[in-house]
């Protein structure tokens, strides 16, 4: 139904954490979701295989620029959402994952280097969309924020001035998101859970994540 690539040509803005959150939430909502781990570190696929404890979803490790688009397209035919986690450096598999996507989410922290790199990633996404003659929507999302700080306010202002389309929701720097990588369990209560809920609700509202599973309905003959 849709391919969502989480991309940034810089390491550390939280691509894998966001992929974990999106995949686990969608699986919890009974959406048919598949994740492609295009990062050679295999952080997402290792987490999925060894740590994740929620409702099952499929996850494939694939870093070949020749195979990734076809894998995404074949999964797209039978899933409600395909999420691609990319590596934190410029590479061809990441560029192909952006080209084949319907939507690209670019996470960034409040640091200047993240903002610069997000701007570059968004520029590249636009170039790829033009070259492939496809409409690809791109949005940034602020991650690992320290709320109510001068730094965060400054970064938000910089984003606005740069004209980078950004999600209203954001994810803060919280222990619960670090724990997710060891526990395999989404934060169920508290501020972290509220942030996750708002983030997924906004993705649903802009149509990047489906509200309900079309594939599950079809399989049940509804």
Identify which range of 63-71, 103-111, 139-147, 202-210 contacts another protein by CB under 8 A: 63-71
Q: Judged by CB, which is closer to another protein: 51, or 172?
A: 51
Classified as helix, coil or strand, 61 is strand
Pairing of strands 137-142, 103-108: parallel
In the stretch 22-61, what mask flags binding to another protein with x, by CB under 8 A?
----------------xxx-----x---xx--------xx
SS3 label, residue 212: coil
State yes or no: residue 190 binds another protein (CB under 8 A).
no
> For another protein, which is the closer residue by CB, 149 or 183?
183
22-30, 97-105, 163-171, 203-211 -> range binding another protein (CB under 8 A)? 97-105
Calpha distance 117→214 (Å, rounded): 36
**Neighbour count for residue 212 (Cβ, 10 Å):** 11
Contacts of 55 (CB under 8 A, 6+ apart): 24, 27, 28, 30
Q: What is the footprint of another protein within residues 164-183 (CB under 8 A)?
A: 179, 182-183
**Contact letters for another protein, residues 123-162 (x by CB under 8 A):** -x--xx--xx------------------------------
What are the φ and ψ backbone dihedral angles of 106, each rounded to 5 degrees? -115, 105
Between 50 and 161, name the residue whose CB sits nearer to another protein: 50
Binds another protein (CB under 8 A): choice among 11, 30, 74, 149? 74
**Alpha carbons 88 and 141: distance in angstroms, whole number:** 16
Residue 143, classed as helix, strand or coil, is coil
CB of residue 98 vs another protein: minimum separation in angstroms? 8
Tell me the closest approach of the beta carbon of residue 145 to another protein, in angstroms.
Answer: 24
- Nearer Cβ to another protein (13/88): 88
Residue placing its CB nearer to another protein in the complex, 127 or 207: 127
CA distances from 33 to 5, 136, 165, 176 (A): 13, 20, 25, 23
Near another protein by CB under 8 A: residue from 1, 2, 67, 164: 67
Q: 201 CB contacts (<8 Å, ≥6 apart)?
A: 169
Query: What residues contact residue 138 under an 8 Å CB cut-off, 6+ apart?
Result: 103, 104, 106, 122, 125, 126, 165
Radius of gyration of the chain (CA): 16
Binding site for another protein (CB under 8 A): 38-40, 46, 50-51, 60-67, 69-74, 87, 90-96, 98-100, 124, 127-128, 131-132, 179, 182-185
């Amino acid at each position: 139904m849709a391919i969502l690539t989480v991309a940034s040509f810089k390491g550390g803005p939280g691509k894998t954490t966001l992929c974990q959150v999106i995949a686990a939430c969608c699986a919890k909502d009974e959406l048919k979701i598949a994740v492609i781990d295009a990062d050679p570190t295999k952080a997402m696929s290792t987490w999925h295989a060894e740590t994740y404890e929620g409702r099952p979803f499929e996850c494939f490790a694939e870093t070949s620029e020749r195979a990734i688009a076809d894998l995404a397209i074949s999964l797209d035919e039978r899933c409600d959402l395909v999420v691609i986690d990319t590596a934190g450096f410029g590479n061809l598999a990441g560029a192909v994952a952006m080209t084949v996507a319907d939507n690209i989410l670019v996470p960034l922290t409040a640091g200047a280097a993240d903002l610069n790199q997000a701007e570059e990633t968004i520029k590249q996404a636009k170039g790829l969309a033009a070259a492939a003659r496809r409409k690809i929507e791109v949005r940034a999302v602020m991650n690992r924020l320290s709320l109510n700080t001068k730094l965060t306010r400054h970064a938000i202002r910089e984003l606005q001035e740069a004209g980078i389309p950004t999600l209203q929701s954001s994810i803060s720097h919280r222990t619960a998101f670090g724990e997710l990588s060891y526990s395999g369990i989404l934060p169920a209560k508290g501020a972290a859970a509220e942030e996750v809920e708002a983030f997924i609700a906004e993705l649903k509202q802009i149509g990047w994540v489906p509200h309900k599973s079309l594939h599950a309905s079809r399989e049940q003959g509804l």
